[in-house]
Amino acid sequence: MELLSYMRLFVEVARTRSFRRAAEALDMPNSTLSRHIAELEKTIGLRLLHRSTRKVELTEAGEVYFKRCQSIVEEARIAHESLLDVAERPTGTLRVSMPVDLATGRLAPILADFARTYPLIAFEFDLTPRRIDLQTEPFDLAIRMGPPPTAPSMLVARPIALVPRYLYAAPGYVEQAPPLRHPDDLSQHVLCVAQGATRQGETWRTLHRGDETVEVMTPTRFAMNSVGLSRSLATQGMGIAALDELLARDEVAFGRLVRVLPEWSLAPVQVHAITETRLLPARTRLFIEFLKARMSSDA
């Protein structure tokens, strides 16, 4: 790479026949340019330029080298510009693992817009709660909810968004259940808890109201790894579910769910893009940036 850079400098000096004009065109000090050309001549083992106080002339070797370098430098420039063009119009197949509830409930419109923006990209989506192995499985990235993974240590977690959550229940459940005026009252209610809660008597998420926070111990009857199922159970009057506002929107609109403890919210869920490396193909990098911009604006 250093040799190619020196060749580019030499071509500019040979073209202008002047270190001063070449230095101005390259936006570098004249002394730095002169030193690099001297290093190039040392590397080649031949003098390329005759220098005088008034002008610069090519040696016989310099003439031959100039003709060859011109085409090489031009090809390198075209290759670089072509790569930038690929970055603007990426191609290939993007393979993404993501939770089904997040994908269908929140990401589907974003995925459609991204596909329209970059029509040359094909997609393979794996909608599963399992933790894929990015080192051995053919995925470009995984979208995950919750804290970033701590192992393996080489994984890179890029924050995408914070998804706020609120409490919802069916109107029939609210009418028949004990009054619900404060988070402490949740101890008398049935909870449909998603994202890994597995036992009764577990400390449920901390609830917030401005600067006030409350932690509540609750009997969890339904524990699952699906937000969609917790929403469905709540619409059936089986208990209270913690849901993203977008996931609950249609159920609220049709009167199947109502928000309970409306002044309170749960801690937002972190969403991360997990990759094996920081060096990403254009399609992966652009996808992550697109998700981050859209999810932040939708939050």
pLDDT tens by residue, 143-183: 998 888 776 777 899 999 999 899 999 999 999 999 999 99
CA dist 165 → 3, 116, 272 (Å): 56, 30, 17
Mean pLDDT for 183-192 is 87
CA dist 29 → 21, 34, 47, 57, 90 (Å): 11, 9, 22, 20, 37
Domain match, 232 and 291 both: no
**CATH value at residue 119:** 3.40.190.10
Mean pLDDT for 128-135 is 79
Q: Which tokens in the block code for residue 113?
A: 């817009």
* Higher pLDDT, residue 216 or 59: 59
Domain match, 239 and 221 both: yes
Stated as kind and residue range, the H or E segment containing 98 is: strand 92-98
**Total domains present in the chain:** 3
Q: Indicate the residue type of 255.
A: G
pLDDT value of position 221: 81
Residue by residue, DSSP assigns 220-239 as EEEE-S-HHHHHHHHHTTS-
Mean pLDDT for 6-24 is 89
**CATH value at residue 53:** 1.10.10.10
CA dist 219 → 55, 56, 171, 201, 202 (Å): 89, 87, 21, 5, 7
**Residue range 258-273, pLDDT digits in tens:** 999 999 998 888 999 9
How, if at all, do strands 92-98 and 141-145 pair? parallel
Q: Is the pLDDT of residue 196 over 60?
A: no
Phi, psi of 124 (to 5 degrees): -130, 110
Domain match, 96 and 223 both: no
Q: Is the pLDDT of residue 22 over 80?
A: yes
Domain match, 124 and 148 both: yes
Mean pLDDT of the chain: 86
Q: b/e per residue, 58-73, with b = 16+ CB within 10 A?
A: beeebeebbeebeeeb
Give 131-135's long-range contacts (Cβ < 8 A, gap of 24+).
Answer: 132/97, 134/274, 134/275, 134/276, 135/276
Q: Roughly how many angstroms between the first and final C-alpha of the chain, as a whole number?
A: 44
Domain match, 278 and 245 both: no
Q: b/e per residue, 31-49, with b = 16+ CB within 10 A?
A: eebbebbeebbeeeeeebb
pLDDT value of position 190: 82
* Higher pLDDT, residue 299 or 187: 187
SS3 at position 88: helix
pLDDT value of position 1: 60
Single residue among 87, 121, 144 that ends a domain in this structure:
87
pLDDT bucket at 108, cuts 50 / 70 / 90: very high
CB atoms within 10 A of CB 247: 22
Domain match, 284 and 139 both: yes
> Of 25-34, 123-132, 232-241, where does the model show the most confidence?
232-241
pLDDT value of position 94: 94
**Residue range 136-154, pLDDT digits in tens:** 788 999 999 888 877 677 7
Contacts of 55 (CB under 8 A, 6+ apart): 17, 18
Give 290-297's long-range contacts (Cβ < 8 A, gap of 24+).
Answer: 290/110, 290/113, 290/114, 290/117, 291/107, 291/110, 291/114, 291/143, 291/160, 291/161, 292/158, 292/159, 292/160, 292/161, 294/110, 294/113, 295/106, 295/110, 295/160, 295/161, 295/163, 295/271, 296/161
Question: Could you list the residue range(s) of the whole structural domain that residue 74 is in?
Answer: 2-87
Q: Is the pLDDT of residue 202 over 70?
A: no
Domain match, 194 and 255 both: yes
Domain match, 290 and 143 both: yes
Q: Is the pLDDT of residue 203 over 60?
A: no
Q: What percent of the chain has pLDDT over 70?
A: 92
Cα–Cα dist 40/60, whole Å: 16
pLDDT value of position 261: 95
pLDDT value of position 198: 45
- Contact between 166 and 266 under an 8 Å Cβ cutoff? The reply is yes
pLDDT value of position 171: 97
**Residue range 62-107, pLDDT digits in tens:** 999 998 898 888 888 777 766 665 666 788 899 999 999 889 888 9
Q: What is the pTM (predicted TM-score) of this model?
A: 0.66
Q: Is the pLDDT of residue 39 over 60?
A: yes
* Higher pLDDT, residue 221 or 11: 11
